[in-house]
């Protein structure tokens, strides 16, 4: 059953959302205070409410609080100060889990019977869309097919290669990562998304599934002294927005 905030609450919701978004900054220095597991779990529950392509949820998270592992991760993160946090969450995108995810959607469908259209979609349409075949050979065929069909009518042109599957997974996972940051912010914890790390060494520290893409490591904690390095800077909105 879907729930929508009553209209009278909307102004308050907008205000809370604004303050949450505006208060989030990339924090580079944290205190040693641990983040409770209950908070971490709730934030992850909120993060996975993010939308994902065909609801296939191509993400996973490694939650690291173990001091030895944290120390190793700091090294993996090139010694940067944000990585000296009491909690680091590795956010991974999975281009190859779509098949299992299709089965899981049908297995976990939240109604007594799976609607026919849903069943058909996850058994036929989704596999057609996402199966790129061995070394991407199917994707190659699909690209030619799409080119022909596309001459006459609109057609979805991606993902039709292994590389496009990587982008496909990263798109949805990045949305979950942003929700995760805002969730921690709502609990009073700050974050720093980090892509400054050595992916190869990361895989030596954490048991990362073959084919998974670590899109960012998220440092989380209570801000320490001089935790924010620079004032906020954003380009003028009109530079990046076109109105039609």
Output DSSP code: residue 209: P
Q: Does 192 bind ligand FMN (CB under 6 A)?
A: yes
Residue nearest to ligand FMN (CB): 196
Shortest Cβ distance from residue 25 to ligand FMN (Å)?
4
Q: Does 80 bind ligand FMN (CB under 6 A)?
A: yes
Q: Does 216 bind ligand FMN (CB under 6 A)?
A: yes
**Terminal alpha carbon distance of the chain:** 35
Q: Does 194 bind ligand FMN (CB under 6 A)?
A: yes
**Helix (H, G, I), strand (E, B), or coil: what is residue 105?**
helix
The site map against ligand FMN for 25-54 (x = CB under 6 A) is: xx-x--------------------------
Which of 152, 200, 226, 232 lies at the binding interface for ligand FMN (CB under 6 A)?
232
| DSSP string of 2-38, one letter each residue | -----HHHHHHHHHHHHHHHHH--B---B-SPPPPHH
Q: Does 167 bind ligand FMN (CB under 6 A)?
A: no
Rounded-to-integer distance, Cα 19 and Cα 140, Å = 47
Shortest Cβ distance from residue 237 to ligand FMN (Å)?
15
| The two structure tokens encoding residue 206 | 């954490």
């Amino acid at each position: 059953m879907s729930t929508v905030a009553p209209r009278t609450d909307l102004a308050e919701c907008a205000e809370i959302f604004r303050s949450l978004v505006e208060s989030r900054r990339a924090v580079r220095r944290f205190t040693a205070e641990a983040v409770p597991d209950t908070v971490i779990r709730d934030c992850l529950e909120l993060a996975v409410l993010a939308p994902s392509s065909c609801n296939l949820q191509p993400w996973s998270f490694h939650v690291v609080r173990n001091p030895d592992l944290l120390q190793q991760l700091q090294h993996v993160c090139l010694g940067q100060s944000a990585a000296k946090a009491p909690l680091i969450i590795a956010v991974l995108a999975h281009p190859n889990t779509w098949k299992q995810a299709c089965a899981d959607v049908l297995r976990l469908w939240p109604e007594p019977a799976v609607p026919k259209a849903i069943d058909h979609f996850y058994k036929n349409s989704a596999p057609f869309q996402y199966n790129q075949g061995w070394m991407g050979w199917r994707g190659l065929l699909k690209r030619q097919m799409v080119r022909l069909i596309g001459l006459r009518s609109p057609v979805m042109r991606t993902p039709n290669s292994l590389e496009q599957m990587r982008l496909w997974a990263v798109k949805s996972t990045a949305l979950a990562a942003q929700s995760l940051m805002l969730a921690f912010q709502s609990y009073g914890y700050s974050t720093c998304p980090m892509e400054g790390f050595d992916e190869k060494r990361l895989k030596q520290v954490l048991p990362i599934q073959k084919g998974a893409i670590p899109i960012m490591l998220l440092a989380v904690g209570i801000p320490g002294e001089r935790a924010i390095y620079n004032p906020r800077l954003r380009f003028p909105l009109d530079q990046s927005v076109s109105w039609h």
